[in-house]
Structure 1
Amino acid sequence: MTAKNSPVWGALVLGMVLLSGCKSPPPDYRNNVTLPVYAKGDASSGEQIYRDACAQCHTLNPGHNNKGPQLMNVYGAPAAALSDYQYSEALKNTHWVWDAKSLDHYLADATKALPDTKMLADPMPDATERADVIAYLSTLRQEKPATPNP
């Protein structure tokens, strides 16, 4: 066993990393939702559709992104705004705001709406289902925590 393969060497490297101040970035939060709840869909049905079609890639917990970004406070938020998620350049350059119109367009067929998107979801051709999902997303509201004073 060489010195580089010894348990002491591993512990030393781990200690150096921990002491170096390397830590993951703090979770990012979207601003509070200011748009009214979207009333042209059924949020209860939208929640079930979300669970079936969206939850495998999107969470609802700030700081806990999955394959896709978390979606808390997404309704009315600028697209590609979370600093703790790696968005596609295509989405960053859209300057979209996630309102009913842009969400409907994107959910209908993300790759058609934005050819270089990272979202690999199947198209959602049913307008009623899209309205229900948008209604549900519009109810996802969580206060942004106060930032501590330095």
Structure 2
Amino acid sequence: MLFEKTLRTAAATMAFLASGSATAHADEARFVPEATEVSWDGTVATVSFQEVDVVVEGTATTISVKVTADVDVVCTKGQSTLDIHRSATALAATEYPVEDGTVTGTAKLPLKVKGPQPPGYSCAVRHRSVTAVLEDFLTGATLVREA
């Protein structure tokens, strides 16, 4: 059974990578993109989500939330200009209750991008993005959401 579950998860991951969007197993469990929100205040990433049509043994499922923050900064000091890119990732896997085939949850992950400002330089953020990847370990449902 563990081998079968591993194969199902691998198949869902490959299908997800091929399609670039949400994927689920034959049981039709899926994350709802419209009900998924991602935010980052510079120190904590918050991901709110909903998964529907969840059918699992028991009353809970385990969902992995991986959040990556990318920051592009331009720094100047006299005639010197630096373009700096920094990135940080946080990952958490948590058990969430299933109620009437639906999982609703919020994950809060500590996430801080370190080192974007060198000493003596004046810096400004040029671009920042946050990407969350959700995966239900039991159903194989996945979703990538950017903010």
Superposed pair shares fold, TM > 0.5: no
Structure 1 or 2: larger strand share? 2
Bigger Rg, which one = 1
